């Protein structure tokens, strides 16, 4: 009986974990952007908040759609609505591609307003560039391996490590600002740590997504710091800025 019920218990635990993580990630992102975007009519605009252009509204809409899918998709699996989950997955692919394109364009455009109060815009451009494109890599493999459920769901969760730095940077907590940019760069790795801890507790081993994918995410964050101050990076950033009208 114990062996017969173990898969069912694991399935229920997985549904609870991935559903809860989706809600937590969405909640954190909304909290981070509440004052500057989602609830901006009811808050004083934080210092350094850029003008919300059409481009930023489109980017925000794509990111919001992704966050909604992060909540809905695990719940559909929990409700055993796999066909609808797969159909929405194709919509999720479109949302992810849109996010990557608009996110990169928005980051280039932001260099012309100096990433307000964030220092040299050519240097700071590395922060959104590495974040957006690390999300893109994880999301690409998640969709490529969508038939491998154990790998797919972990990669989808891992991809959010590349998204949460912007939300964390906007949380109104002094320790985060005091430790910036290291705090908002590395704190999103809590998602990876949660996945590692959950796998270890429920399976007694850690899935390779958390090992290799988590290490790749961490490596991209570490490499970003020496890269962003290099002459080669400044030349690349200046060339990208030249693609967008000042």
Long-range contacts of 234-239 (CB under 8 A, 24+ apart): 234/122, 234/123, 237/111, 237/121, 237/122, 237/123, 237/125, 237/126, 238/122
Residue 29, pLDDT score: 94
Mean pLDDT over all residues of the chain? 90
State the Cα–Cα distance between residues 140 and 125, nearest whole angstrom. 22
CA-CA-CA-CA torsion sign (45, 50, 51, 54): negative
pLDDT digits (tens, 9 = 90+) for 147-160: 999 999 999 999 99
Q: What is the pTM of this model?
A: 0.89
State the Cα–Cα distance between residues 173 and 67, nearest whole angstrom. 22
Q: Yes or no: say if 82 and 76 are a contact pair by the CB < 8 Å rule.
A: yes
| Higher-pLDDT residue of 42, 83 | 83
Q: Yes or no: say if 156 and 139 are a contact pair by the CB < 8 Å rule.
A: yes
Residue 100 has pLDDT above 60, yes or no: yes
Residue 174, pLDDT score: 80
């Amino acid at each position: 009986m114990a062996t017969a019920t173990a898969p069912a218990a694991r399935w229920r635990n997985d549904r609870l974990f991935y559903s809860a993580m989706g809600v937590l990630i969405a909640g954190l992102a909304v909290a981070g952007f509440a004052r500057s975007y989602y609830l901006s009519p009811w808050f004083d605009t934080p210092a350094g908040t850029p003008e919300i252009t059409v481009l930023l509204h489109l980017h925000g809409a794509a990111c919001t759609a992704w966050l909604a899918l992060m909540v809905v998709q695990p719940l559909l699996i929990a409700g055993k609505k796999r066909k609808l989950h797969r159909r929405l997955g194709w919509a999720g692919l479109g949302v992810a591609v849109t996010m990557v394109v608009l996110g990169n364009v928005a980051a280039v455009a932001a260099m012309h307003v100096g990433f307000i109060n964030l220092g040299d815009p050519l240097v700071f451009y590395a922060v959104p560039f590495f974040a957006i494109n690390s999300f893109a890599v994880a999301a690409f493999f998640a969709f490529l391996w969508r038939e491998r459920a154990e790998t797919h769901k972990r990669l989808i969760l891992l991809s959010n490590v590349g998204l949460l730095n912007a939300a964390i940077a906007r949380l109104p907590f002094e320790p985060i600002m005091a430790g910036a940019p290291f705090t908002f760069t590395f704190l999103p790795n809590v998602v990876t740590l949660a996945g590692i801890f959950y796998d270890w507790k429920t399976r007694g081993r850690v899935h390779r997504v958390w090992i290799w994918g988590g290490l790749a995410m961490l490596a991209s964050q570490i490499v970003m710091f020496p890269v962003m101050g290099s002459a080669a990076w400044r030349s690349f950033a200046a060339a990208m800025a030249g693609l967008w009208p000042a």
